[in-house]
Structure 1
């Protein structure tokens, strides 16, 4: 009598949604077709392997037989389908305590195994507690101890947080000279990424990670900062100072007082200039260097002090000379009448060396007191 040896090779526990194959093994060589049974009912599968997609309804007792020998089925094996999943929020706010739960239909759950990004953790309870540090972001799964080959599907945990460490950098670094191009960049650590706003002092400029200034001018000097904002909060950077360097401009000479100048008076000439860094001031009479400093003083003025006076302002980026102030000495009449003294200031807008300036003249008349009658 023919009696084939038959058995079903299959795992006892199958994770839901896991593809698994049941194999009908036999010593019979006349196996052109097989019969599969579930809970004693024949299935419409005639291959040696029965593939299951592991739906919950697939739990049951499975056996097989060689066609033509249906009265000699294999012993039945039980397939138990278990459901295993991690219950957790996808987004977690930094510093928020959150619990991940390993849910299963398996009743043989004396301990669990937790995984983060595929690496086993030293946690064996059903619930995994997180304090929600940034490093806690990742993919988490769990398994029943003893069935580590059947982990749950992984779920992603993302830790979100407001902007931090917001700062501004300037490119290129180093000294900024008029007409250069400068780019300010804002960096911020946040999740989700922050929206960046730019400000000069307290005036809004634009949105975006960078703020660029081309052909920079002296009026672009000032304090700039960025503000980073997402749905969880905002943070402003410290301000950075943009200090634009430029050569002297608007150089001019003024004198103290506005009345007539009489021989023996004292006169102070002052030089003003707009520049960055501040200019060094030099004083000239005609083409003769007199000295340096913001002012030039003449005490006990005499007729030989008459002449053309001007100042020159110079820094590392250029120079400019003022218009000249001309002093001319004239004697007063015996009646004591004298010409009035006046000053007219002019400006030269070109940046030149003092000897290259086209000097404009203003008149200062020095009066001699009338001689006493004898």
Structure 2
């Protein structure tokens, strides 16, 4: 009986697709009067529904291979005069792409900021990425960078991951909202020196801004209900009817939208009054 050569493992598929392909590993060369043995991760072959031996033990078939399979396989040949073992073989399991993740997700952006989105999908081989904005292709990169964005950059951003080996595509969409930060408001007045019990004063919260809520504070309190106070023009204008000497304020206005809130500097009124009926002291 001759001494055996060093065996080696041949495979019918060294790049199986996850949970789909079976792989047949064959111990080469075919030699008469030889016993074939298999080792999995340096252990003798375990009993498993995923492993099947041929009748002569020369071929080991592996089923349902998961993506994280780092198992290494070795075969051994024995005859009465020698024992030889092959080099180890591992499988390169193809998988994915999984549904990609876009980060950061659904963050509101202020106009003038830079938009920097990153896409990642688990995949072997590494996925190829494409970006679409409102359905229109933008570029084939893993990161999408748009400097100095405007409200017009709001919309639907889709990342597509493609696996060239499995031929599969997966997509994820995120909504990007770009808002304009509100300016600091200020109060204009039609009369900052009103005369008591005579003049009405109109205070206007400037500037005019779309999709904005206007608020008022008097003496640091939110506006109380009073027949002498009238709000108009979507709360942007506060009218004081028949001003009294106690109406000096201060008055503040605020503007807010879903992303920001700003408050004006306080304004006081110089109410002109008197003279009241004079008091002579001491009295008679």
In structure 2, the partner of 1:234 is 168
Tell me, in whole angstroms, the C-alpha distance in 2 between the residues paired with 1:97 and 1:354.
Answer: 77
Q: Distance in 1 between matches of 2:233 and 2:85?
A: 84
Retained in 2: the 8 A contact 1:138–1:158? no
Q: What is the match of residue 62 of structure 2? A: 130
RMSD: 3.8
Q: Of the candidates 18, 39, 45, which is equivalent to residue 121 of structure 1?
A: 45
The Cα shift of 1:239 comes to 1.1
- Decide whether the 8 Å contact of 2:7 with 2:86 is kept in 1: yes
Q: Which runs of 5+ in 2 are unaligned?
A: 48-52, 184-206, 217-227, 238-252, 268-284
Partner of 2:9: 86
Distance of 2:36 and 2:256 partners within structure 1: 83
Alpha carbons of structure 1 residues 80 and 234: separation in structure 2 relative to 1, 3 Å = closer
- Unpaired segments of 5 or more residues in structure 1? 1-77, 250-270, 298-310, 321-351, 356-374
Specify the alignment match of 2:102 in structure 1: 168
Distance across 2 between alignment mates of 1:120 and 1:241 = 53
Deviations 1:147-182 (A, max 9, x none): 9962112334211134113121117x8542222223
Alignment of 1:214-229 (within 5 A): 214-229=147-162
Partner of 2:181: 247
For residues 334-368 of structure 1, the C-alpha deviation after alignment (integer angstroms, 9 at most, x for no partner) is xxxxxxxxxxxxxxxxxx8898xxxxxxxxxxxxx
- Hey, what's the Cα distance between the residues in 2 that align with 1:148 and 1:135? 35
In 1, Cα distance between equivalents of 2:22 and 2:119: 31
1:179 has 2:179 as partner: no
User: Which has the larger share of strand?
Assistant: 1
Q: CA deviation at 1:210?
A: 0.7
TM-score, normalised via structure 1 length: 0.45
State how many pairs are aligned. Answer: 204
TM-score by length of 2: 0.58
- In the alignment, the residues of structure 2 paired with residue 110 and residue 186 of structure 1 have an alpha-carbon distance, to the nearest angstrom, of 51
Deviation at 1:103, TM superposition (A): 2.5
- Aligned residue for 1:161, secondary structure, equals coil
Deviations 1:97-145 (A, max 9, x none): 22111134443434412334x4543266322212232234554321136
1:291 correspondence with 2:224: no
| Helix, strand or coil at the partner of 1:211 | strand
What is the rounded CA distance, in whole Å, between the counterparts of 2:232 and 2:181 in structure 1?
18
What is aligned with 1:153? 87
Cα offset, 1:83, TM superposition = 4.8
- Where 2:152 maps in the other structure, the secondary structure is helix
Distance 1:317 1:109, change over 3 A: same
> 1:216–1:244: 8 Å Cα contact kept in structure 2?
yes
Question: 1: distance between equivalents of 2:159 and 2:21?
Answer: 28
